[in-house]
Amino acid sequence: MPILPILKYPHPILKKLCHRVEKIDQSIHGLIQDLMDTMHDGPGSVGVAAPQIGVTLRVCVVDVSKNRHGKENNHGLLRMINPEITSRSGSATMREGCMSVPDYTGDVDRATNITVRFTTPDEAEHAIDASGFEAVAIQHEMDHLDGVLFLDRVTSIKTGLFRRKNY
């Protein structure tokens, strides 16, 4: 499948609430493959959500296993359809970046422990407990499904937003 261009802020699709996937068919399998290919091509990317490639469906992929922050604590490649966070606890501020906002990073408060329920591409219901960097990455990608960017959650526009030096 092709590596697709990432929509950049302020593209209006990035602010849309995404629709639930009602039927998992070949188009959804193709979308997931496109998301994985696009994620693996992105510099340092650990996740991509469907709206970032112009599709307003509740689908995202996350894989922190190759990142130094997630190497020791991860569930590998997560292909999530209609994900929902069912519990969250803890709080930490971490620096986040996004392929849709390539020129900036920002400090964002996130839960440090979450339980997320989702459907897998083989139509199985699945739930995982995620913590640390993986929990942050999942929350970041799920925000995209609700039309929320990390810019909307930056702790302080004056002191918590930073111009990226290189990408």
CA 78 to CA 74: how far, in whole Å?
A: 10
Angstrom CA distances, 62 to 1, 18, 116, 160, stand at 18, 17, 12, 25
Amino acid at 105: T
Active-site amino acid positions: 141
> What DSSP line would sit under 39-89, residue for residue?
HHHSTT--EEEGGGGT--BSEEEE--TTSTTTTTS--S-EEEEEEEEEEEE
